[in-house]
Structure 1
Amino acid sequence: MRTPLSDPQRVGPYQIVGRLGSGGMGWVYLGRSPTGRMVAVKVVRPELAMEPEFRDRFEREVDAARAVGSLFTAAVVDADTHGDPPWLATVYVPGPSLAEEVARNGPLAEPQVRLLGAGLAEALRAIHAAGVVHRDLKPSNVLLAPDGPRVIDFGISRMLGAAGLTRSGIVLGTPAFMSPEQITGMMVGPSSDLFSLGGVLLFAATGEQPFPGGEGHLYRLVHGEPELDGAPDGLRELIRRCLAKEPGDRPNLDDLLAELLAEPGAAEPADPASSAEHALQAGGWPFPAVAETLRVHELPPPSGNAGTPGPTASCLTLHAQTLLDAGLTGEMIVEAMTRAGR
């Protein structure tokens, strides 16, 4: 199988292997550098690229992502914000999103949520230290990599202190995980990401949103109380504080990280200097339920006779998630990929 004709064969110096996904801003492709490095290439939709305001936003996305250096984010490796169309390339993260994992295997256990939350808190610490507010933290923007979670997609992030580019009356973000101040168009600061983190942790633990959708959803998000009945006892109060309506009532990231890394039921939080990276290494990441998926994602496409990836193997690598959802096991997919590469 080949990449669809509507998709590019090359973006900048990267050969396009296949499409990873698409969204309102554009498409994301799996690309290969001239040296064989795999990257995720985000390409802006042509109609958006024609808007000067959007190009400014996209350039800020690239600047914001480049400013952040953390184990728990996907680093930008290349970009052309003035290209036709504009694009950026980040490190390819071989793993499913949190949204995909919960849909496939159900909610995570409390110790797993704690490890996930610690990695996300470390990511937000690095993001905020770089002077950036993410503004769209949600389960689909959290990838589960072999060595920990990754926060991705700085598409609507904003550099702290920078003038806004959003048109009056337009709110950017994903409503289910947006903070009240985002919904109401107020000033958005780092604590907004803490609100979103509370929603992500609840989703990881229960598969549910703190403010269920339907009629009146936004009103409940701004004025109502979150539904936390399904949250683990050891995390319920922590999540509740993250979801506080007033930004000043939300915990700071250092305290949150120490609390997440503490033993459940411990009288005191963990040492504030505790490292999420160390906790993930000691805590059994990746979780058993996701390890098989990661094993498939990590496999590079087998080489063909000319040293280039076999087309069938490339397709299986890109669509391993679909095959798993269809009921095939990781072992079956690996066997098929091996046969295709011969």
Structure 2
Amino acid sequence: MVEGDPTRLGPFAIVRRLGEGGQGLVFLGEGPSGEQVAVKLLHTRLTADAEARARFLHEVALAQRVARFCTAPVLYADLAGNQPYIVSEYVPGKSLRELVEEEGPRRGAALDRLAISTATALAAIHRAGITHRDFKPANVLMGPEGPVVIDFGVAKALDSPQTTGTGTTMGTPSFLAPELMSTGVATGASDVFAWGVTMVFAATGRPAFGADSIPQVMHRILTSPPDLGELSGPLRDLIKVCLAKEPALRPSAEAIVAHLTGGPPIDLSPVEPEKPRARGRVVAAALAVAALAVTAGTVAVIRPFDRPAQTPVAAPPAAQPQVSPQRRPSATRSARVEPAPTRSTVVPVKQPIPSEPPASPSPSPSPSPSPSPSPSPTLKPDPVPNPRKPRGLCGAGFTIADTHGWNGKATTYLMINASNGRACVVTLSTYVMPGKVRMGAILQVQGGAITRDWRRHMTHAGPVKQPASGACLIWGGGYGQQTWKSAWSHCGAEGY
């Protein structure tokens, strides 16, 4: 902890600081039930006026509609006091930026999986009527369940493109689309451009237009082709199209997902160059913005490749505005899901966020009670089997020593690694739970501490691990409202 950091925000105890970004401080927190959360303490200046608060509440209401399979859901928000903060699910794991810097670029199937998962998250964000505005490697967390996109909606909510003034946050320059430098208006196409630069960074270890001085980076983005480095294969051609200077020439995120997963292909023919006169005007305007940023000290734009710490996504309030229905595009280069304009009343804050978004009102009246079942207006999708495996979570060398079932809905596994004497406990649901279910895993070694993981999960809780050679164990877990733990067992050589 740093001197001056809070020790508690509302019902959340602050454990330690995770870092600081352009929007505020980020802490690891602990909820009333001991669950780990990410707490973002927003800069007061970002919510200092009524218009900014109204804009923020509108955006976070939309953010609640985003499917949560590739994003970190918001759990709580308090913007009413002089310490505005939002709380999201804590995603353990490094950011894509940290992972690439420490382990090197992604290759082969790992890069393909990253491209599909992040494009899927971006498509879900756009489908909810939101533009991300700050998509970059630092905002992709490599969690145990796969990549998770964070901070969607926060950048736009706290800095509407229609709002100007000193200290305006425009995002990280290396990932800015050309149109943001001239008009400042972000669209889904701007996010697709940032996704393309992020994939180049993941594959090569550097952004497609460099990360040196701001004027040079901006000039390359506006006038030069991207440096795709060692990126090869079909993904190279796709990303080249995503980095087109003209927004209309870029595919939508939804079209990218379809293209990468065997759906309708995107036209990857060479992109038509811009007209020289039009480009000249754009370059002049953008470089003027860059010069102003350097001299006036504009926040965020003057940091070519900033390194924010892990941050949660924007917080949805308890009530939601209505979102205009979106037209589903075809998978072509020109297809794009654009956030629809919406109107919303300001909703109250400083209240828990419901774990599930309230159902949208139906245009037809509710059916009267009937002894025969009423037909459902929508069909529930078939349950998806959980792809996670206990050994894959605990690691190589672990084998199953014991299990505890939860009526076919989940299983808690005790895993032992005979080579190093470590024990691992993990609870896996039988199916992927889109709405998330409270699950837990607990492990105690005789003479040692208790480690646990109790949160709402889609696929699993844990793993929790401890050295356990020659000692007795207490292990267990939970699913839904049920909990269980063993007596002292698996002592000494038993189970090793």
Q: TM-score range by the shorter chain?
A: 0.7 to 0.9
Query: RMSD value over aligned CA atoms?
Result: 3.8
**Whole-angstrom CA distance in 2 between matches of 1:254 and 1:149:** 17
Q: In the alignment, which of 153, 159, 172 is matched to residue 170 of structure 2?
A: 172
Where does residue 231 of structure 1 map in the other structure?
231
**Whole-angstrom CA distance in 1 between matches of 2:199 and 2:19:** 24
Higher helix share: 1
Where does residue 222 of structure 1 map in the other structure?
222
**Whole-angstrom CA distance in 2 between matches of 1:231 and 1:280:** 29
Where does residue 89 of structure 2 map in the other structure?
91
- Report the TM-score when normalising by structure 2: 0.51
> 3-state DSSP class of the match of 2:155?
coil
**Whole-angstrom CA distance in 2 between matches of 1:279 and 1:207:** 32
Query: What do residues 16-67 of structure 1 show as CA deviations (whole Å, max 9, x unaligned)?
Result: 1111111122111111111122110100134555455654554455334323
Describe the shift of the 1:239–1:281 C-alpha distance in structure 2 as closer, same or farther (beyond 3 A): farther
Where does residue 142 of structure 2 map in the other structure?
144
> 3-state DSSP class of the match of 1:222?
helix
**Whole-angstrom CA distance in 2 between matches of 1:111 and 1:279:** 20
**Whole-angstrom CA distance in 2 between matches of 1:24 and 1:169:** 10
Deviates more, 1:225-234 or 1:203-212: 225-234
Q: In the alignment, which of 6, 9, 22 is matched to residue 4 of structure 2?
A: 6
Describe the shift of the 1:301–1:93 C-alpha distance in structure 2 as closer, same or farther (beyond 3 A): farther
* 1:64–1:157 contact (8 Å) kept in structure 2: no
Query: What do residues 172-194 of structure 1 show as CA deviations (whole Å, max 9, x unaligned)?
Result: 11110111111222432111111
Where does residue 44 of structure 1 map in the other structure?
42
* 1:147–1:280 contact (8 Å) kept in structure 2: no
Where does residue 155 of structure 2 map in the other structure?
156
Describe the shift of the 1:127–1:166 C-alpha distance in structure 2 as closer, same or farther (beyond 3 A): farther
* Count of aligned residue pairs for this structure pair: 288
* 1:115–1:279 contact (8 Å) kept in structure 2: no
Query: What do residues 152-202 of structure 1 show as CA deviations (whole Å, max 9, x unaligned)?
Result: 11321259xx88334399561111011111122243211111101101111
Query: What do residues 294-319 of structure 1 show as CA deviations (whole Å, max 9, x unaligned)?
Result: xx9x999999xxxx989xx9xxxxxx
Determine if the alignment matches structure 1 residue 68 to structure 2 residue 59. Answer: no
* 1:9–1:15 contact (8 Å) kept in structure 2: yes
Give unpaired runs (5+ residues) of structure 1. 264-271, 289-295, 314-332, 336-342
**Whole-angstrom CA distance in 2 between matches of 1:14 and 1:45:** 18
1:20-31 superposed matches below 5 A: 20-31=18-29
Deviation at 1:75, TM superposition (A): 0.7
* 2:96–2:142 contact (8 Å) kept in structure 1: yes
* 1:58–1:81 contact (8 Å) kept in structure 2: no
Query: What do residues 120-173 of structure 1 show as CA deviations (whole Å, max 9, x unaligned)?
Result: 1111111111110001000000001111111111321259xx883343995611
Deviation at 1:235, TM superposition (A): 1.6
Describe the shift of the 1:218–1:92 C-alpha distance in structure 2 as closer, same or farther (beyond 3 A): same
* 1:15–1:32 contact (8 Å) kept in structure 2: yes
Where does residue 247 of structure 1 map in the other structure?
247
* 1:120–1:151 contact (8 Å) kept in structure 2: yes
Give unpaired runs (5+ residues) of structure 2. 264-330, 332-383, 396-423, 427-439, 453-464, 468-496
Identity %: 38
Describe the shift of the 1:11–1:309 C-alpha distance in structure 2 as closer, same or farther (beyond 3 A): farther
Deviation at 1:231, TM superposition (A): 1.0
* 1:64–1:158 contact (8 Å) kept in structure 2: no
**Whole-angstrom CA distance in 2 between matches of 1:33 and 1:7:** 17
Which has the larger Rg?
2
Where does residue 32 of structure 2 map in the other structure?
34
Higher strand share: 2
* 2:56–2:157 contact (8 Å) kept in structure 1: no
**Whole-angstrom CA distance in 2 between matches of 1:258 and 1:278:** 22
> 3-state DSSP class of the match of 1:104?
helix
Deviates more, 1:22-31 or 1:54-63: 54-63
Describe the shift of the 1:99–1:301 C-alpha distance in structure 2 as closer, same or farther (beyond 3 A): farther
Where does residue 304 of structure 2 map in the other structure?
none
Describe the shift of the 1:247–1:85 C-alpha distance in structure 2 as closer, same or farther (beyond 3 A): same
1:252-331 superposed matches below 5 A: 252-262=252-262
Query: What do residues 218-260 of structure 1 show as CA deviations (whole Å, max 9, x unaligned)?
Result: 0111121101132123321111011011111112223311332
* 1:16–1:30 contact (8 Å) kept in structure 2: yes
Deviation at 1:117, TM superposition (A): 1.1
